[in-house]
Structure 1
Amino acid sequence: MSGAASALFLLDIKGRVLIWRDYRGDVSAVEAERFFTKLIEKEGDPESQDPVVYDNGVSYMFVQHSNVYLMTATRQNCNAASLIFFLHRIVDVFKHYFEELEEESLRDNFVVVVKSLCIYDLRSLLVALIHLGKMLNYFVLGWQYELLDEIMDFGYPQYTEAKILSEFIKTDAYRMEATQRPPMAVTNAVSWRSEGINYKKNEVFLDVVESVNILVNSNGQIIRSDVVGALKMRTYLSGMPECKLGLNDRVLLEAQGRATKGKAIDLEDIKFHQCVRLARFENDRTISFIPPDGAFDLMTYRLSTQVKPLFWVEAQVEKHSKSRIEITVKARSQFKERSTATNVEIELPVPADATTPNVRTSMGSAAYAPEKDALIWKIRSFPGGKEYMLRAEFRLPSITDEEAAPERKAPIRVKFEIPYFTVSGIQVRYLKIIEKSGYQALPWVRYITTAGEYELRLI
């Protein structure tokens, strides 16, 4: 399962080759046509929407981003999951260089003029130039080819950290500069961080962000409920700091013989950034790492246990004759009084043909959004344990189509943010920063809960 990719293709939405790189010499551009033919055949089968296609001894792994397909082809028995992950990393790298990966951005940044000829595969470049309608002049270099040669070597994935790549493959409009040698980060074990970083003020910002997903049916029963969390960091630290993070993790506290009643949490589906030492975490549950510079997600997790809805919204709809409809809504916060939700937005569906809204609220403001067929109720500050009301009246057309199918009602959708609050009860027990120079660093920790897919059905 250690085979390598033979080639990497970038195709447009119609299957035409935009750019490709041949790493092993055992596939050709014809393979892209075969791949797209098989892909079209698979689109007719809803049960075959997997990211792997096999045909005539060649395995194709692909992902689609915007209007571009990224695909690797191989004749070996390789690890499909790692190559698919590699394709997602390529998307991140290209987005780092020209903001968004799409066909137009690939065309605009394809060829640059530089001082010397540096073409590794003239045949594949010519094929791509023909598809792009470009003219080949004297000295050309696709800096995208430079990227493809750095992130994969002979079919084996290499460096996929965009921040590190940008240190020795630099672009400015249509110019490219290459440093004399790669930074130390690509030659040592810490490929996500460069040496020599220096800040006058050393700080670490850690945001614990939880997103609540809830689906409630018209009978008030919770159909789906889960919490997705992330530890988002922004580090501005000099040198090569060692960071250690401790959480109120039940396994760790029990191993240390500490009381866990009401304080510990059980996290599921934990995923770490590559900087975390997994062996250390598995041994003693310590999150130890050398952080990348700037912003990154240190960890993500999920809680599948059913949670009490933080907001409960009830709506009563009354039709007065056929020309007028009245909606009464109660919104109640179901968290403790010491917390306050901000930027609460409740989207209430209304009939598509409703007109002349007349709205009254006990708190906040409401506006009719005809493009959404909804009434948007906004409350800037919503303390815990409070209940507010809204009454709205709409006019309906006097003439209706009696044979028309009954209108499907959209659910009530709720958006909110609750700072200094988490549903799971997760707590950062400590965050230590150790660096050989011995400087003092300031860690800042913030908690926030937001609404994910938060929906309450009316029917």
Structure 2
Amino acid sequence: MASSIYFCDSKGKSLLSRDYKGDIPTSAIEKFPFLLVEAEEDQANATPIIQFNGINYLYIQHDNLYLLALTKSNNNVAQIFLFLHKIINVLTDYFKELEEESIRDNFVIIYELLDEMMDFGYPQITEIKMLKEYITQKSYQLERRSKKNQALGPPSAITNAVSWRSEGIMYTKNEAFLDVVESVNMLINPQGKVLRSEILGKIKVKSHLSGMPDLRLGLNDKIINAENNKGVEMEDVKFHQCVRLSKFENEKIITFIPPDGEFELMSYRLATSLKPLIFVDCKIEKHDKSRVVINTRIKAQIKKKSTANNVEILIPIPEDADTPKFKYSHGSVKWLPEKSLVVWKLKQFQGGKEYSMYAELGLPSVTIEDPQFQLKRPIQAKFQIPYFTTSGIQVRYLKINEPKLQYQSYPWVRYITQSGDDYTIRLK
């Protein structure tokens, strides 16, 4: 696969490299800055693959760095790019910020990680949890656990089909926890009409199971049979590497041997028409060089038996507003001058309920014609609704089988719907 891996700065000059095959001369990297300039100039035909003198340059960009793979023979290009992105994920997890300085400060541990992640140009261990069991970092120095004291380690064979899980894991109480978390993004006009909506879903797993358990997860027909017009169509579905994709494609059943601890089993997106879960009706009266009056009404448009928790309504105000006065029926209201916001908080908001809030703020200098007064920022709503999914997805069963140990297991399932990063209501 890859003959060598290079980390380069923003100009394409090498910072650190690892040669796996020795079939490409080190002078080849000296051509990369010039090839990069030519590629940037030829925007019409620019690709992340450059061929020069029989050598393939495959690269990705991360902030001010280029991560580059060199190869001579024909290869699985998608696999090489996937590996480069995996390197970015691993190093970001180790160093928090991956940039030129962190590359220079941590070159020892990077070499160790590159040696564990690839052997003679072929990917080996790429699972972060497995790497952290074998390689640890402290004050920019590498520490290796001694084999005598190492409770868990990489599989005996690096090419093990279950490379994401160690052997010999034992728990006194075997449990598995599933969280189905759906984040709702929505754009609502002042009249309450939804202009855009989507659901970003994740199924998260926390596995405290002994041995090498085999799990079978069954979901309801709401999602799985969408192609037969019996449900909602999933888009951008992504699975953890532990999931047997052929089993899912053929039988619509999710089977897997889980990594130990927490991981994201699956993510998906649903572009579907929704009604507002939390609707905000906000009227703003503007008085020239005097004051601004805000009348806000919120309604929980969810089932009466459901409750939204930790609700926050963020209302934008002019930058120089001052001397706030508030009246409200429930919750608490705060003025955040550094963010030019009024924030209305409710710990619990039961379905079907409706509350109101009145705010008056002084405007010592701003006129109605001033751009500050033309509030273009939308209102943002934040909330969490437990025991509820917007899409209707449900876990029908989670079967756990460990053929050698044959223990009893206790699966737990929790559902949460929450506001996404873009749940907004336009002002009039």
Change (3 A) 1:303 1:253: closer
Residue identity opposite 1:276 in structure 2? V
Residue 318 (structure 1) aligned with residue 314 (structure 2): no
Change (3 A) 1:365 1:20: same
1:171: Cα distance to partner?
Answer: 4.0
The aligned counterpart of 1:23 is 20
Question: Which one of 131, 153, 158 corresponds to residue 165 of structure 1?
Answer: 131
Residue 441 (structure 1) aligned with residue 419 (structure 2): no
Residues 242 and 290 of structure 1 are in contact (CA less than 8 Å); yes or no, is this contact kept in structure 2?
yes
Residue identity opposite 1:248 in structure 2? N
The aligned counterpart of 2:173 is 201
Question: Which one of 200, 219, 230 corresponds to residue 247 of structure 1?
Answer: 219
2:223 & 2:366 partners in 1: Cα distance? Answer: 65
Residues 185 and 195 of structure 1 are in contact (CA less than 8 Å); yes or no, is this contact kept in structure 2?
no
1:314 & 1:251 partners in 2: Cα distance? Answer: 33
Change (3 A) 1:51 1:382: farther
Change (3 A) 1:380 1:159: same
SS in 2 for 1:199: coil
1:405: Cα distance to partner?
Answer: 8.3
2:47 & 2:188 partners in 1: Cα distance? Answer: 33
The aligned counterpart of 1:62 is 60
SS in 1 for 2:302: coil
Change (3 A) 1:30 1:229: same
Deviation by residue 1:353-372 (Cα, 9 ceiling, x = unmatched): 21211122111111111222
The aligned counterpart of 1:295 is 262
Q: What does 1:370-385 align with in structure 2 at a 5 Å threshold? A: 370-385=337-352
1:51: Cα distance to partner?
Answer: 7.0
1:415: Cα distance to partner?
Answer: 0.7
1:226: Cα distance to partner?
Answer: 0.8
2:321 & 2:78 partners in 1: Cα distance? Answer: 50
2:301 & 2:38 partners in 1: Cα distance? Answer: 52
Change (3 A) 1:392 1:216: same
Change (3 A) 1:92 1:405: closer
Deviation by residue 1:365-391 (Cα, 9 ceiling, x = unmatched): 111112221111111111111111111
Change (3 A) 1:411 1:78: farther
**Higher mean C-alpha deviation, range 426-435 or range 151-160:** 151-160
Question: Which one of 434, 438, 451 corresponds to residue 419 of structure 2?
Answer: 451
The aligned counterpart of 2:391 is 424
1:375 & 1:268 partners in 2: Cα distance? Answer: 36
1:94: Cα distance to partner?
Answer: 1.9
2:144 & 2:285 partners in 1: Cα distance? Answer: 68
Residues 216 and 253 of structure 2 are in contact (CA less than 8 Å); yes or no, is this contact kept in structure 1?
yes
1:185: Cα distance to partner?
Answer: 5.7
2:269 & 2:226 partners in 1: Cα distance? Answer: 21
The aligned counterpart of 2:86 is 89
SS in 2 for 1:188: coil
The aligned counterpart of 2:34 is 34
Change (3 A) 1:236 1:387: same
Residues 348 and 412 of structure 1 are in contact (CA less than 8 Å); yes or no, is this contact kept in structure 2?
yes
The aligned counterpart of 2:150 is none
Change (3 A) 1:193 1:35: farther
Residue identity opposite 2:128 in structure 1? A
1:109 & 1:251 partners in 2: Cα distance? Answer: 45
Question: Which one of 171, 184, 200 corresponds to residue 156 of structure 2?
Answer: 184
1:295: Cα distance to partner?
Answer: 0.7
Residue identity opposite 1:162 in structure 2? I
Change (3 A) 1:240 1:102: same
The sequence identity of aligned pairs, in percent, is 50
2:157 & 2:374 partners in 1: Cα distance? Answer: 59
Gaps of 5+ in 1: 111-141
Change (3 A) 1:357 1:33: same
1:435: Cα distance to partner?
Answer: 0.6
2:353 & 2:373 partners in 1: Cα distance? Answer: 35
Q: What does 1:223-372 align with in structure 2 at a 5 Å threshold? A: 223-250=195-222, 266-372=233-339
Change (3 A) 1:156 1:34: farther
Change (3 A) 1:359 1:17: farther
Residues 319 and 372 of structure 2 are in contact (CA less than 8 Å); yes or no, is this contact kept in structure 1?
no
Aligned length: 415
1:22: Cα distance to partner?
Answer: 2.7
Gaps of 5+ in 2: 148-152
SS in 2 for 1:160: coil
Residues 346 and 413 of structure 1 are in contact (CA less than 8 Å); yes or no, is this contact kept in structure 2?
yes
